[in-house]
Every structure is written in structure tokens, then in C-alpha cells.
Amino acid sequence: MSQAVAFAKSNESYVKAFTQGDLALPPSKAVAVVVCMDARIDPAAALGIDLGSTHVIRNAGGRTSDALRSLIISQQLLGTREIVIIHHTDCGMLTFTDVELRDKIHKELYVHADHIAFLPFSDIEKSVRDDIAFVKASPYILEESKSKITGYVYDVKNGKITEVKA
């Protein structure tokens, strides 16, 4: 059975118990969380996020430059004002460089990826600080939100988040 089929099967029981079909489109807590796509992180459980309350924007590393398109839509069209950035220990982004990944892509797929910045990093706290700085410097992010940006490192060993001061 493919995983997609397993998902569809699980969804059947989810639908039977589902009761929250009347939530508003804008997130009720007016907050966007940018967090790594790592499979070991469950943002809703780890942060107490209720359905309908929060935009959770996920990508490799939880990089804000990659999330900018979504953050703009979140703020401009759906009213979020606060931004929380979460990177984590043992992140896959610590394991490669742009040069290495571009080389692998060229060998396997016979295409150049020199124009793609994969945004790996070697220091988790620095990457959080860099990403806080990125949103603070962005002209596409609301000025009133720039005092409401918080960064954390999530520890995959114990589930704890620790704030990283900008």
C-alpha cells in the first residue's frame, strides 16, 4: 500500500470525528509560525496550536526568505501580525552545502541548479538570528510586526524550544 492510500484510509476516520468545519479563514491568533519541515516536529502539539488559530509555514530549515511569499499573503490578506521562527537541533540543513547539492543534482538529473539557493547553515542559532534579521529588513513585512518577531531553537531530543535573542 502506498502512503497516499494509507493517508486516504486514515482520513476516513478523521472525517467521521471532524467537527470544526465552521472556522474563519483568517487565523484567530493573528500569528504566523515559520518552522522546518522536519518530520520529527509536530508544531501543533509542541506549541499548543488550535485549528484555525495560526499559519504554520514549513520549508527545509524554516527559512524566512523561502517563506516570504507565504508571509506576505498571511499578513496582507489574512491579517497575521506576529511572526515566530523555529529552527531545530540535528537539522538536515546542517549536513550539506549549496555546492555539494548542486553537484549531486547535476550528476543525477543532468541539470544545473546554480541559480537555486538551498539555504543550508552551519550554526542553528545564527540561522535563527539571520532569519529574524531578514524579516526585519524586508520592505514586504509590516512595520508594526517588526517588534513582534520571536526566534526559537527546537530540540528534537526533548521537544523543548529555547528563545534565540536577535
The CB-side HSE value for 18 (13 A sphere, CA atoms) comes to 12
* Parallel/antiparallel/unpaired status of strands 82-88 and 149-154: parallel
Smaller CB separation from Zn ion, 33 or 36: 36
Q: Is 91 in the site for Zn ion (CB under 5 A)?
A: yes
CA–CA separation, 40 and 11 (whole Å): 21
Smaller CB separation from Zn ion, 38 or 131: 38
Question: For Zn ion, which residue of 38, 66, 130, 131 counts as binding (CB under 5 A)?
Answer: 38
Binding residues for Zn ion, total number by CB under 5 A = 3
Q: Is 131 in the site for Zn ion (CB under 5 A)?
A: no
Q: Is 124 in the site for Zn ion (CB under 5 A)?
A: no
Q: Is 149 in the site for Zn ion (CB under 5 A)?
A: no
The minimum distance between CB 85 and Zn ion, in angstroms, equals 12
Smaller CB separation from Zn ion, 36 or 135: 36
Q: Is 41 in the site for Zn ion (CB under 5 A)?
A: no
From 55, 63, 62, 59, select the one nearest 80 (Cα to Cα). Answer: 55
Which residues 6+ apart lie within 8 Å of 24 measured at CB?
52
The minimum distance between CB 16 and Zn ion, in angstroms, equals 33
Smaller CB separation from Zn ion, 112 or 126: 126
The minimum distance between CB 31 and Zn ion, in angstroms, equals 21
The minimum distance between CB 89 and Zn ion, in angstroms, equals 9
Question: For Zn ion, which residue of 31, 36, 84, 135 counts as binding (CB under 5 A)?
Answer: 36
Q: Which residues bind Zn ion (CB under 5 A)?
A: 36, 38, 91
